Amino acid sequence: MVSTEQRISVTINGTTYEREVEARKLLIHFIRDDLDLTGSHIGCDTGNCGACSVILDGRLVKSCMLLAVQADGSAVETVEGLADGDELSKLQQSFKDHHALQCGYCTPGMLMSATALLRANPHPSEDEIKKGLQGNICRCTGYWNIFEAVKAASE
Amino acid sequence: MLLREVGYARPGSLGEAIQLLAADDGARALAGGQTLVNVMKARAGSPDALIDLGRIEELRGIELGADGTLEIGAMTTYTELVESSEARARPILGEVCAQIADVQVRNRGTIGGNICTSDPTNHLPPLLAALGAEMTIQGGNGVRTVAASDFFLGVYMTAVGPGELLTKIRIPAGRNDGFAAVTLGIDGTCIVSAAATHNGGLTLAIGCVDAVPVVLRPASADDDAVRAAVQDANLDPPSDVHASSEYRRHLAGVLAVRAAHQAQGSS
């Protein structure tokens, strides 16, 4: 049945949230505005920058290119789910060690893309790392340290 | 960004999806959404309702027939095509899908969405035209099949009519294929593209030089014959900020030769 609102259930970082949402709401707004999980960023809002990247049912997606209702019944991972309490993931620690962020705005998306890459391919080649981060833009152009951090985390 | 208000339904079967689409002229099928959601953000399109095809099993899957024919569900994503062992029966498919946009878009974008958009800058319309694909379209009045050459009708227009859905894409057996494109940045949309297949004779399909892929059958697979075929087609491509008409015409010849080389295993 066609409806402009729908009740959805989405599991984010292990917690299941049930909410009534408008069909027009993008997944990123559901995550940030409705659930107050503001780690995922909105950079361009046009699907180009990748700052809003999350992992949906095991696949990396841009959450501004998806309606929240499309994620009904799915499991989502966001940047908030990477650390174990105060303990950073190996990749997060590597970002810290390699100074892989300048302004930090793109970092949540970069971390999610690199997490998805290393899960699928724990020892990527240099080209595979670059291809894995292709959908993420760093407007500080700090790509080299991000690349080095991912490379070190894969070793 | 806040989209205009829109209705939404997520049918579980093909029949239900077709009914929902037929019931409302303003309803649009939502495949991977990697084009449509952006079109809606830009207010370039404002459907009354989105019929989400994401949970319809009948639209998924890649089957390899005993004779080497591939049958690909319209909702198969680029990533699924890249990873599929069946799709390796026609390796060019995965090879080209791996050049589309980025990981995130490849994980959501679908083969059906790519061709139903019929955007001349997309990779798959010329490729499927060259490979001689056949599209299955289902609507309230039943099922019909349309050759790729009759599927693309214009920019953003295909043979899929109101209340109908593209359900699967059939690709005949074959191996010797090629694809070459000049794109907007690596893996970006195409400025000009050329696909080639060499099974018996050489078939070329040039993208971005007209509203629909231009299919050519050169007299032979020699470079001179390929260039002559492109020349004789009297292409009149559009000019835009990325390339003049003249430059696109030039690229068509260059890329046709490159694609033909790859199809003959000599790239």
Q: What is the pLDDT of residues A88-120, one digit of tens each?
A: 999 999 999 999 999 999 999 999 999 999 999
pLDDT tens figures, B11-68: 999 999 999 999 999 999 999 999 999 999 999 999 999 999 999 999 999 999 999 9
pLDDT tens, position by position, B214-224: 999 999 999 99
Domain's final residue, options A17, A52, A81: A81
Same structural domain, A77 and A98:
no
My answer on whether A74 and A125 are in the same domain is no
Q: In chain B, whose CA is at the least distance from the CA of A45?
A: B1
pTM, entire model: 0.97
| Mean pLDDT, rounded, for B258-264 | 97
A123 and A60 housed in the same domain? no
Q: How far apart are CA B6 and CA A3, in angstroms?
A: 8
Averaged pLDDT for residues B231-258: 98
d(CA B215, CA A8): 46
Model pLDDT, residue B266:
64
A45, A62, A81: which is the final residue of a domain? A81
Q: The CATH number of the domain where A94 resides is what?
A: 1.10.150.120
* CATH number for the domain running over B177-263: 3.30.390.50
Model ipTM value: 0.97
Total count of domains within chain A: 2
User: Could you give the residue range(s) of every CATH 3.30.465.10 domain in chain B?
Assistant: 60-171
**Ranges for all domains in chain B classified under CATH 3.30.43.10:** 7-52
CA distances from B111 to B42, B137, B147, B240 (A): 23, 14, 16, 27
At residue A51, φ and ψ (nearest 5 deg) are: -65, -25
pLDDT at B252 over 60: yes
Give B127-164 as a DSSP string.
HHHHHT-EEEEEETTEEEEEEHHHHEEETTEES--TT-
CATH architecture of the domain covering B7-52: 2-Layer Sandwich (3.30)
Domain span at residue A104? Answer: 90-153
Which residues from B are below 8 Å from A when comparing CB atoms?
1-10, 20, 24, 27, 30, 33-34, 37-38, 41, 49-52, 54, 79, 101-105, 107-108, 186-187
Q: Which residues of B touch A70 (CB under 8 A)?
A: 10, 30, 33, 52, 54
CATH architecture, domain B60-171: 2-Layer Sandwich (3.30)
| Helix (H) / strand (E) containing A143 | helix A143-153
pLDDT (0 to 100) of residue B175:
86
Average pLDDT, chain B: 97
Instruction: State the CATH number of the domain containing residue A50.
Output: 3.10.20.30
- Between CA B160 and CA B7, with CA B59 as vertex, the angle to 5 degrees is 70
Tell me the nearest-neighbour CA distance from B215 into chain A, angstroms: 32
Please tell me whether residues A77 and A9 are part of one structural domain: yes
Domain boundary among A22, A56, A81: A81
The shortest CB-CB distance from B9 to any of A1, A65, A67 is to A1
**Cβ separation of B1 and A64 shorter than 8 Å?**
yes
Q: A11 with A62, same domain?
A: yes
